[in-house]
Amino acid sequence: MISGIFHYEFLQNAFLTGMLIGILAPLLGVFIVVRRLSLIADALSHVTLSGIAASLLLEKYVTSLAGLNPLYLGMVFSVGGSLFIEKLRGVYKHYQELAIPIILSSGIGLGVIFISLANGFNTDLFSYLFGSVSAVSRTDLWVILIISVLVVAVLILLYKELFILSFDEDYAKASGIPAKSIHFIFIIMVALVIAASMRIVGILLVSSLMTLPVAASIRIAKGFKQAIFLSVLFGEISVLGGLFIAYYLNLAPGGTIVMLAVLILIFSILYKKLMINQYVQKGGTAG
């Protein structure tokens, strides 16, 4: 695959896109998990599916839109879904978690309607569902690169505020931090990253890349910054390792990436358990 990267553009696109997604998804995932919003990735990924299905439907009936990249409308739907989640969280102040399943269900329902109107699945839609290395275009790469720069810049500028909001929202508001505005920016970033990640991992698996590396990192990390570093490290190992394994074994890249992330999670759990047992044994011996 290494030699192929230098010869084939689609492999270059997949490899570079995978590197960017391996950083972005876990990076935002740490804040998502800490804020107990893990299911938001699932909700927005299904809303994105609706946008992509709508785009493919429009291409079928409007010839002037035949060259439109479905990723763009998917991003519009994803951002719209994130805004509706924020609105519903304000409506259900005491049951804010209800906003996520409401949008998730709406996304699934709308997606199914658009798919049925388009007379079922086609090759393009299938590649969005489960990911496809060959489907990643140079345009997709540039879009993801732009999103990556924006997300990293915002996280650097608002790191302190996001950190405080993630652990104590009431204290953040009392400290004068514009919690609503910052959360609004954060949720839009999540929506864009989810929409951008679907080419490699697929809509149905993108939430895994935002949560599994984070779940592995928080088992062994000794602080928040270390958890961020390990999440990104595990995310990169999952994506790049998954792409290499999928290439040589002719497997689906999305599923391979996710299963590698699952193996890393299992290893981290076992490692943590081993460390605890060793600590207990040392304590027992000392006593």
Tens-place pLDDT, residues 88-126: 877 877 777 788 888 888 888 888 888 888 776 565 666
- Cα–Cα distance list, 256 to 236, 247, 250, 276 (Å): 13, 10, 10, 30
Cβ-based burial of 16 (10 A; exposed 0-12, middle 13-18, buried ≥19): middle
Phi, psi of 37 (to 5 degrees): -120, 35
Among candidate residues 78, 85, 34, the one with its CA nearest the CA of residue 198: 78
pLDDT at 8: 66
On the question of pLDDT at 59 being above 90, the answer is no
- pTM assigned to the model: 0.80
pLDDT at 224 over 80: yes
CATH code given to domain 2-207: 1.10.3470.10
* Mean pLDDT, range 23-40, rounded to an integer: 85
Name 45's Cβ contacts closer than 8 Å, sequence gap at least 6. 78, 107, 194, 198, 203, 204, 206, 207
Distance set, CA 233 to CA 177, 197, 229, 263, 264 (Å):
30, 17, 6, 14, 11
